[in-house]
């Protein structure tokens, strides 16, 4: 039952990304600059997450250790996320939400196979099996078919 919950939560996250991309694309059209739309998207997200973080810390009587993580970890995710949001903001009006999401999932799966294989940042190492590679390639093939139709 717990496995079903986590699977549904993953699908919800994917649905949120699918909705976020056209919202940011519309914001970019209004602002006239995709990178500005990405900046405002991240700014609003940072404010909300900052408030949630403070609330959780206070309610659980805890604090965070800003000295523990390596300094590059504080910016790497933001740079990658900002790149993602900017690129999707540019692509959505050109390719449509479904095609962009299909290519995003294909790219995520192929990159994840590599990250699993090398055990990136201490993740458990998982081999690239025929089934896992075939699944990722089938998603890529589906994205290409969606783009061609």
Domain limits of the chain? 1-95, 97-149
DSSP 37-62: HHHHHHHHHHHHHHHHHHHHHHHHT-
pTM for the predicted model, two decimal places? 0.82
Identify the residue whose tokens are 């590679």: 133
Per-residue pLDDT of 38-84, as tens digits, reads 999 999 999 999 999 999 999 999 999 989 999 999 999 999 999 99
Which pLDDT band, with edges at 50, 70 and 90, does 26 fall under? very high
Q: Are 89 and 104 in contact (CB under 8 A)?
A: no
The per-residue pLDDT for 116 is: 95
Which pLDDT band, with edges at 50, 70 and 90, does 149 fall under? confident
């Amino acid at each position: 039952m717990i496995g079903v919950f986590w699977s549904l939560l993953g699908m919800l996250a994917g649905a949120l990304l699918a909705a976020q991309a056209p919202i940011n694309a519309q914001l970019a059209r209004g602002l006239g600059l995709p990178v500005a739309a990405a900046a405002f998207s991240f700014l609003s997200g940072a404010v909300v997450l900052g408030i949630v973080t403070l609330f959780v810390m206070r309610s659980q009587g805890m604090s965070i250790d800003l000295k523990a993580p390596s300094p590059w970890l504080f910016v790497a995710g933001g740079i990658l996320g900002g790149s993602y949001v900017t690129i999707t903001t540019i692509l959505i009006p050109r390719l449509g939400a479904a095609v962009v999401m299909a290519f995003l999932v294909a790219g995520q799966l192929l990159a994840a196979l590599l990250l699993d294989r090398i055990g990136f940042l201490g993740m458990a190492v998982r081999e690239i099996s025929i089934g896992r590679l075939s699944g990722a390639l089938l998603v890529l093939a589906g994205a290409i078919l969606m783009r061609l139709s």
